[in-house]
Amino acid sequence: TRVPGKPRHFIDCYLDEMDKRGNDGSLFSEDQLCAFLLDLHFAGTDTTANSLLNAFFYLMNYPETQERCQQEIDKVLDGKDEVSFEDRHQMPYVQAVIHELQRLADTAPLAVFHKTTKDTELMGYSIPRGTTVIPNLSSVLSEEGQWKYPHEFNPENFLNDQGEFVKPEAFMPFSAGPRMCLGEALARMEVFLFMVTLLRRFKFIWPEDAGEPDYTKVFGTTQTPRPYRMKVQLRGTA
Ligand code: HEM
């Protein structure tokens, strides 16, 4: 349905640009376009969507936590039309819950595979040049000794004794190092704004006939919770 010269979206614009350039040796190519689409849909959308899916799955099954988030949100946003990312500094509990949900979402369990470009020594281990290295983020995110409650959902993992938000070093769902997630800042902003906006308006309820929740995930390059249904109620209408 594409009409050259009348772009409707990114792909059309890109194809127009490819037509214009012909074979001028530029980087505009179908391969490059595919790589961009993977970035947009897979790295940029699927990860954040799965984080949100996981978040609402847990919040429905921990209604007291959901309610405590809503109380903090109501207090901080009192009189404001919309939430802004800056508001997170006044919401230590919500921040702790969101980080705890991201920890358990374990969205990219094996990060992205890497390869050593030279012989490398790491903590007494020698890793020859050209070795494929697969980071195990699942292990870090539930490492005993790094978390107060490594194997359960508990926002206390991100709160100190004064109830302030703290981020342990082992929190690395976006991996670490020079090739860590390029979209981390955007993803964190998106997850915060989506969650706060939705929690402010709606109550998320696990349907009575849904049975016991199954917390095991569908494993993949990105992990996702098992399909579920949810009941959504406008707040204040119950
Ligand atoms: C909650 C959401 C997200 C999670 C958990 C996540 C996680 C990750 C992880 C673990 C990596 C691998 C890092 C490594 O190689 O060690 C990665 C890479 C990457 N992510 Fe994300 N990501 C998320 C959202 C996003 C978003 C929204 C974008 C872009 C808009 C994005 C763009 C990228 C890109 C481009 C890379 C490759 C970076 C490179 O190889 O240099 N990610 N992400």
Best residue for ligand 1 mutational test, from 37, 47, 116 (most atoms within 8 Å of Cβ): 47
User: 24: pLDDT confidence band, cut at 50, 70 and 90?
Assistant: confident
ipTM, 2 decimals?
A: 0.98
Centre of ligand 1 to C-alpha 172, Å, is 11
The three-class DSSP label of residue 217 is strand
> What pLDDT, on a 0 to 100 scale, did the predictor assign at position 217?
94
CA atoms of 70 and 182, how far apart (whole Å): 30
> What pLDDT, on a 0 to 100 scale, did the predictor assign at position 13?
96
Residue 77, CA atoms < 13 Å, CB-side half-sphere: 22
CA atoms of 194 and 192, how far apart (whole Å): 6
121 forms beta bridges with 126
Q: Is the CB of 109 under 6 A from ligand 1?
A: no
pLDDT at 196 over 90: yes
Q: Is the CB of 39 under 6 A from ligand 1?
A: yes
3-state SS, one letter per residue, for 50-64: HHHHHHHHHHHHCHH
Q: Is the CB of 224 under 6 A from ligand 1?
A: no
CB 88 within 8 A of CB 94: yes
The three-class DSSP label of residue 111 is coil
